[in-house]
Amino acid sequence: MTRILGFESSCDETGVALIEVEGGRPPRLLAQALHSQIAMHQAYGGVVPELASRDHVRRVLPLTREVMAQAGLALSDVDLIAYTQGPGLAGALLVGAGVAVSLAAALEVPALPIHHLEGHLLSPFLSADAPEFPFVALLVSGGHTQLMRVSDVGLYEILGETIDDAAGEAFDKSAKLLGLPYPGGPHLARLAEFGNPQAYALPRPLLHSGKPDFSFAGLKTAVLTQVKKLGDAPCDQAKADLAASTQAAIVEVLVKKSLLALKESGLRRLVVAGGVGANAQLREQLNAVCARRGVRVHYPELSLCTDNGAMIAMAAALRVQRGMAKPRRDGGFEVRPRWDLSAA
């Protein structure tokens, strides 16, 4: 039996979680705790890196104590410590990595660096309806939008990705143009519930390119043009209609490109991971079209779509089970703010 303590601190959430893995059984989540910095960053309209790093310093140890208390275990019961090495904000990554490696040294256990996107990619394995390999993954997290073939842990082949803005950025930037607060994506989705998704004819870049690549920069420009046409004081309904039309454009592109990747790969299983994967319209449309095609769709639990420590501990657990883990015991570490998943 191996108990893994996972730390996530790549951006504006501090996450800590404890997972237990035994033999070939599915890893079991024992406890987790998460602190979001949304309220702190709202006044600035986005994440302030220095403030994010300082808040991680304040939160990480209390969250660790909370997790161990939930599990009814002591730190001496931990066998391995995993942490996010990248990508992310350099200062924020350094906080989590520094605490993780220091704690590992104090406990005389190894420390294992984990790729943040691999954590998201494997987070559906924490759900009751866990996927099986191989599958196509739609990874829509922050500044990343990628489609990939996942043959097993560590075996990732990129099928398509964004050539400019990511889907999450399209949501957030469009929301900001509409005057919505940070974080924009969820606010835009809530406003869209009251709008007409066909009110504005917004572009779907690369929709008919025949390739599973994405582009959302043109959509953002189109939203800006419509906002200017609405003037300085648009009515609530006009804003709701534009929000609904924006969401419809993003979701249609994500759905169509996912179907194309499934067709090209010949696979019948789709995993959706990352913050945008919590979008209700995306889930509804993917569920509908995939059901008609006999494709199984898997998502992480809604609470695990955003950054969290459980996904980092889970990625570590799956690597341990496969004998792929390469932990360190020398107390050294580095962070990788930019890091291609295919190089992990």
142 belongs to an annotated ligand binding site: yes
Residue 66 CB contacts under 8 Å (≥ 6 apart), including other chains: 16, 33
Instruction: Name the 3-class secondary structure at 21.
Output: strand
Rounded CA-CA distance 295/272 in Å is 13
294 belongs to an annotated ligand binding site: no
Rounded CA-CA distance 65/69 in Å is 6
Report how far apart the first and last C-alpha atoms of the chain are (Å, whole number). Answer: 26
298 belongs to an annotated ligand binding site: no
308 belongs to an annotated ligand binding site: no
196 belongs to an annotated ligand binding site: no
29 belongs to an annotated ligand binding site: no
Long-range Cβ contacts of 22-29 (<8 Å, 24+ apart): 24/321, 26/125, 26/130, 27/125, 27/313, 27/314, 27/317, 27/318, 27/321, 29/126, 29/310, 29/313, 29/314
139 belongs to an annotated ligand binding site: yes
Rounded CA-CA distance 5/239 in Å is 44
141 belongs to an annotated ligand binding site: yes
Exposed (0-12), middle (13-18) or buried (19+): which is 154, by Cβ within 10 Å?
middle
Rounded CA-CA distance 215/121 in Å is 21
- Known binding-site residues for substrate equal 139-143, 172, 185, 279
Q: Binding-site residues, please?
A: 116, 120, 139-143, 172, 185, 279, 307
Q: Binding site membership for Fe cation: which residues?
A: 116, 120, 307
